[in-house]
Each structure stands twice: as structure tokens, then as C-alpha cells.
Amino acid sequence: MASKQLPVDKMMGETLPKHFVASAYIVRDDRVLLVHHRKIQLWLPPGGHVEEFEDPVSAVHREVKEETGLEVSLFSAEDYREGSNDTVRVLPLPHHLQVERIAEGPHHHIDLVYFCKALPGDAVKNAESTDLRWFSRADLTDPTLDSNVRYFATLALDTLSKNGATLRSAHP
């Protein structure tokens, strides 16, 4: 999850604890779903911590289901699953990784960010959010949205609207 961040040059020398998280920009009908995070009062993509016994793909599916009630198909620009064998499982690549400085703690989130398409079903918020909303391209021009969220939400729309966008398995 994105959060209020320090400029990158201020983060570089910090030695703070690191937590792995996974988040998802979810697209349906040329709109992207964001949740309004109750604690930090920002519109963010759904996501959260990767638990000790799960991989990032399982975490993003779990977090999306918990926070929105939806199931999703992950987008991956490359498919390396042929590299899997009896002892190695190759996962779909996230769209990108980003490091977020979290004030509470303080600590860093290493965020594996996925682009996804929503499978059929209704989105419903949970207790972590005050609201959830499907944002159109026009809605994403709102200057009150975090610039990082605005940029990647628009990029997810652009990427998943292209013909031939390759979606990977709906479930881990």
C-alpha cells in the first residue's frame, strides 16, 4: 500500500525494518478500484502484508478478497512459468516494486504492485476502509489523489485496455 512518503533522497540512507506487502490496481470496464484507507485517510489500491507462510501472489489474492470481496486475474508482461519444476515454482511478475516509508513504526514497505482485472462480482468494503470506488480516467485527474496512486492507476488502465494484455491465473 502506498502511504504518506518522504522524498526518495531522504529515504536512501535510512536503516529501518522492512515489511513485504502486495497491492493490486484492479481494472473493470475502463475504471480502476481504489479503497479509502480508514487509518491514513488516502485513496489506495487494495493490499497488505505478505504473511509468513504465503508468497506475494497468494497475498495479493487474499488481500483483494478481504478488502473488496473480489477475485482477480493478474496481468504479467512475461510468462516464465515454464521455468517451474518439482522444486521451483515461478510466480507471475508484479508490474513493479516500490519502497514506501511508513511513519508509524517507522518502517518501510517493499510493495510488490500487481495490475489485475476484476472477475465478475460486486465490490464491497471491509472495516479497514471508509469507502471503495471505481475511478474513471477523468476521476483520476483529481489533484487530491496521491500522485503515485494517480500515475499507476492510470497506467493500469492504459496497460489492461491494450489488446492482447496477458492475464495469468485467477487463483494462486
Statement: the pTM of the whole predicted model exceeds 0.85: yes
* Domain count across the chain: 1
pLDDT digits (tens, 9 = 90+) for 145-167: 999 999 999 999 999 987 555 56
Domain annotation covers residue 166: no
Asked if residue 17 has pLDDT above 90, the reply is no
- Three-state DSSP class for residue 60: helix
The pLDDT score that the predictor gives to residue 170 is 42
Q: Is 67 exposed, middle or buried (0-12, 13-18, 19+ CB in 10 A)?
A: buried
For residue 144, how far is the Cα from the chain centroid? 19
Domain annotation covers residue 1: no
C-alpha cell recorded at residue 165: 494484455
Domain annotation covers residue 168: no
Residues 6 or more apart from 11 whose CB is under 8 A from it? 5, 99, 101, 108
Domain annotation covers residue 28: yes
